[in-house]
Structure 1
């Protein structure tokens, strides 16, 4: 009787016969539930074996036994293939239970085969992610698809000992005789994550270094510009304005001030400032600043500390720097920098090394520029001032008058020139020596400075002769003011060693531009001639110069 069977029917019958006939029943059970796909040749052998079994039991050893051996070998080959995979492989059922795991997965998560199989896959997921995983797993089985590794959010696995590690997971869906399975390929990407994090960190540091380099380059440009501008300044006031301008650019969000020690070296005075200070800047003693005491940079340590500078508001908690302005070892002043308060930032934020270095460089430039300006000013004062009285000398007055006369001509205003001579000055030298004569000259110089207005020029013309220039002063006003000075001189009392040196009187000659001269030489000659007339007429008087004979006044 000829029978025909479908392949599926044959497989069912073979499973029943193998269970009954095979000695290794447990092995064959595992083999048969494995989704092994048979070749057409094997199917023909199964048909032949089935017919042989039906017709003769002796054919078992000829067909079934070799088939069993081949199937076991093929299953073992598949198992070895899974175990040799470099990644972990898990089979997960729709209910979340793990059906199988290869050796790499067991080693990766720290479990044995017996511990892991039939456990929920959520046991391999950190707790913070495990709660939502069942819902996501259910959604996947409702609409299964292949998902490549690296897609989606960052994933983490959890080992048996509770430690976490980053993983990459790819998913694929398989249908077996036992139902759907999600095949998960799991890769430990700890090393890749470390490398990636190192690259991200390196990129961030590189970016920060580039930004720092750009900032330092800009600071260097500003510093060079400031140095050039300071060297081009003609006086301290110009230098202070330049320092203020570039201080804002070099130290944003920082209040700054430049203090200079007075010529008497007993006080330190604020000369320029920028930014917001908690209290007005005031004059202080050099001993009040630790930077001036030590000759080096000084910074706030803590509120109320004895090493904080006494010129800083004691209630201010913001960080500050004091940098001495030095030139050839001599302290000229101090650069004071105070961090401005910023939201969310603690008050005592330390100064970075780069900012401290920049502050020192700025202070060096300022100190050098101010030293040069003071030296230049001292040399100029020596060239234009009388060292004994502190008044301008003849050279300065003549230069000033040469510049002022053209301006007065354009703007049509007068210039009064007064020449003074101390009467019988030789008597002071003969009686009290040069010390007494010098004292009289100094006292009279101080007296002149108190009598003139701002804009007037007083000078020692030579010996006991003095001169005063009064721009914008008419002849009659000049005569009145000269008479006041003459009378005031009579009231001068000069003492040397407790001894009064005697009464001081003066003779004066007054001339005025343009009535008595249209040049410096003409004007001084007219005033000098009037002076000699005053001395010739008995001294202690004021004489007005005679008008020039060639003078033509245009009404």
Structure 2
């Protein structure tokens, strides 16, 4: 103990005894703090929770009693009874206020012990602590026979409880401090007791470190410290024996060192001779490499250049002799450097390779070299460097690239020619199909079919003009970007107004046609191509193309493709316009050949063609066909009295009357002169006679104005025949109806007569 009290051991951190004790105390210090803090926090919390629970039970009992006592007073609105209940409740020192509400929530009465505390009636409508934490509120329903008639709110003061809790907290904090200090004292003495054997071993170790190897640690216990002391003594025994052996070995080693020194001197002399020969060989090799026409480079495992001959320096444009030490990464792109790293990995495996490498030099120029690479290993078999022989092939690569580009351009031209040949073939095929098409509907089907083949990625709209009107009707819509309009006014399209094609490259900048505004996406191009022939507008083709191309992606190739598509669209539009014009001309010629030019009705030629067709259909369907023959009475007198122009006008008005009086499926023809014929498919004889009477009455009521004269009492005579009663062929029916017409004339005109079964009298 005298040694522990020496002046040199007075400092806390210089004494081993105090260090160990201090560490034990540091380990226990957080646990003491945690225990003290938990006691000082949890105990007041637990006490307050239990006190609040007890106060809440008490408040619940008081609220139930008050609700029971206030029930009659609330029912009869007895204020005096309520005051008596309030007086009874005020006897309890914890009751600070009482509020009574009726069933609607209206405050009926209240009691407050003191007016210093302001109570908000809205806050007391629930049970629990008020926001001020000064009162515990009990909100209880007042009921009579299970029916709620009101509510009572009773506030219990927390002043006494809070005062008591403050006193308890102070006592608990004082207790926690006492426990903490007492724990520190106990831990200090326990630490001294536990660390005593360790301190004794420390003193022994210090003396042994001073050179006294005869000392041994005292073993007094059989615990871990005793085991440590015994192990320490055993280690000292072995250490002493080892020191003796080392002393003997040192003497032996000194003798061997002297012998080995002599041997090394001889070896050094031999190596110096060998090094001189190697130097001469290396100088010879360097001279040979420098005179080579190929570039020779040696790089280490990290791609740093160790050696380069003059040819290699010319390849790398190194005219100042600063190539050594630089990394190949400085002369290559990331992709080419990755190729070098892959090749170095193969060199590590002992493989040799020949490969092409592209160098990017400081001035921005590029060179292509063929690299013949071989690995170099040290005597231990470890990879150390790569020997590379480089041959520049930049010009040859340029020639190969030029040939490759020429080949690619040729293939593109061939592909484009094949594409154009296919387009021309389709256009010729479309023209052949247009010649076969006999109607506008068939022509539209041809347009749809070949538009899909020639423009698979584009949308297409076809508008056709009917009877030279102001509007164009939508006849075909293929993949439009948005629902198209069904009717298009001629003035709503710039192309139709100018009679020239309009192409819209940029919807945001170009002047769009009114019918395209709002329906064309931002990145989509459009084209309006008028279909015209001989100055007459037949229709309009609208194309929507390139929906996937943004403005930034529209390069030279895109513009060239757009130009080609424009030419193809124009060719398509021209052929379409020619076809529609031809079909329209054919239909016009056909109409002229089957129409009467004066009345616009079908002529006798069309009557004969139609009659055979309708009879064939009637036989197949088992239905009747009726024929009406009508003749204008006294037409010669009208011509002689009013003139031929009036006669023509009379015939036109009779034709219009006939057209209005028959069904849409009936066929009205001018048979000749003032004679008219009506073919009525599917109409029996009786219904045909009724329809003939209707026609007769319509003509009777006609009033025609000729100059200043109003002509009335116009009449016609009508004959009716029907299939199969009056004939199996068209000529027989017409003859039967004509005979019936003659009979109507003979009987006085202005009447209807049906044909007989043998085409005679009925």
TM-score with structure 1 setting the length: 0.76
1:381-400 equivalences in 2 (<5 Å): 381-400=591-610
Deviation of 1:466 (Å): 0.9
Change (3 A) 1:34 1:236: farther
Higher relative contact order (CA closer than 8 Å, sequence separation 6+): 1
**Is 1:361–2:571 an aligned residue pair?**
yes
Tell me if structure 1 keeps the 8 A contact 2:718–2:741.
yes
Alignment of 1:205 onto 2:409: yes
Cα distance change, pair 526–138 in 1 and its aligned pair in 2 (3 A): closer
1:338 to 1:447, Cα distance in 2 relative to 1, 3 A: farther
Aligned to 1:50: none
Task: For residue 491 of structure 1, report the CA deviation from its aligned partner.
Answer: 2.8
Aligned residue number for residue 94 of structure 2 = none
Matched, 1:536 2:749: no
Quick one: structure 1 residues 345 and 452, their matched pair in 2 at CA, closer, same or farther if it must change by over 3 Å?
A: farther
Distance 2:666 2:725 in 1: 19
Note the 1:254-333 alignment, pairs <5 A.
254-276=458-480, 278-303=482-507, 307-317=511-521, 318-333=524-539
Are the structure 2 counterparts of residues 405 and 112 from structure 1 closer, same or farther at C-alpha, using a change threshold of 3 Å?
closer
**Any gaps of 5 or more consecutive residues in structure 2?**
1-267
Q: TM-score, normalised by structure 2?
A: 0.57
How do residues 415-426 of structure 1 correspond to structure 2 at under 5 angstroms? 415-426=625-636
Secondary structure of the corresponding residue to residue 85 of structure 1: coil
Cα shift at 1:475: 0.3
Aligned residues: 486
Report the Cα distance in structure 2 between the residues aligned to 1:99 and 1:340, rounded to whole angstroms: 57
Post-superposition Cα deviations, 1:104-128, rounded to whole Å, max 9, x if no partner, equal 21122222464223x2444654474
Tell me if 1:236 matches 2:436: no
Deviation digits for residues 438-481 of structure 1, max 9, x if unmatched? 22222222222222223311011112211101111110000011
Distance, in Å, in 2 between the alignment partners of 1:448 and 1:121 is 104
Moved more, 506-515 or 268-277: 268-277
Question: 2:161 corresponds to which residue?
Answer: none
The 2-side partners of 1:389 and 1:227 are apart by 36
Q: 1:477 to 1:433 in 2, by over 3 A?
A: same
Aligned partners of 2:553, 2:447: CA distance in 1, in Å?
Answer: 26
Larger of the two Rg values belongs to structure: 2
- Give the equivalent residue in structure 2 for 1:88: 295
Shift of 1:329: 4.8
Distance 1:9 1:253, change over 3 A: same
Q: Which residue number in structure 1 is paired with residue 590 of structure 2?
A: 380
Aligned Cα RMSD in Å? 3.7
Unaligned runs of 5+ in 1: 1-7, 17-30, 37-71
1:67 is aligned to none
Answer with 271-280 or 394-403: which moved more: 271-280
How far residue 385 of structure 1 moved from its aligned partner, in angstroms, is: 0.6
- SS of the residue aligned with 1:548? coil
Name the CA shift for 1:387/1:194 in 2 (closer, same or farther; >3 Å).
same
Partners of 2:313 and 2:529 in 1: how far apart?
66
Distance 1:526 1:130 in 2: 101
Q: Write 1 or 2 for the structure with the bigger share of helix.
A: 2
Separation (CA, whole Å) in 2 of partners of 1:134 and 1:394: 95
Counterpart secondary structure, 1:405: helix
| 8 Å Cα contact 1:494/1:502 also seen in 2 | yes
Give the structure 1 partner of residue 395 of structure 2: 191
Residues in 2 aligned to 1:460 and 1:220: alpha-carbon distance in whole angstroms: 48
- Residue equivalent to 1:437: 647
| Partner in structure 2 of residue 518 of structure 1 | 728
The alpha-carbon deviation at position 175 of structure 1 amounts to 7.2
Matched residue, 1:465: 675
The answer to whether 1:35 aligns with 2:281 is: yes
Specify whether residues 278 and 187 from structure 1 end up closer, same or farther in structure 2 by C-alpha distance, changes over 3 A only. same
Q: 1:167 to 1:301 in 2, by over 3 A?
A: same
Distance 1:336 1:79, change over 3 A: same
2:370 is aligned to 168
Give 1:176-187 correspondences, 5 Å limit.
Answer: 182-187=386-391
1:116 pairs with 323, 340, 343, which one? 323
Q: Deviations over 1:502-533 (max 9, x none)?
A: 34322211111222222222211221121122
Query: 1: CA distance between counterparts of 2:320 and 2:270?
Result: 33
Shift of 1:11: 8.8
Contact 1:301-1:308 at 8 Å conserved across structures: no
TM-superposed CA distance for 1:161, in Å, is: 4.5
Question: 2:507, 2:525 within 8 Å by CA — same for their partners in 1?
Answer: no
CA gap of 1:100–1:418, structure 2 versus 1, over 3 A, is same
Match of 1:335 in 2: 541
Tell me the secondary structure at the aligned position of residue 515 of structure 2.
coil
Counterpart residue number, 1:412: 622
Distance 2:673 2:760 in 1: 32
- Secondary structure of the residue aligned to 1:510 is strand
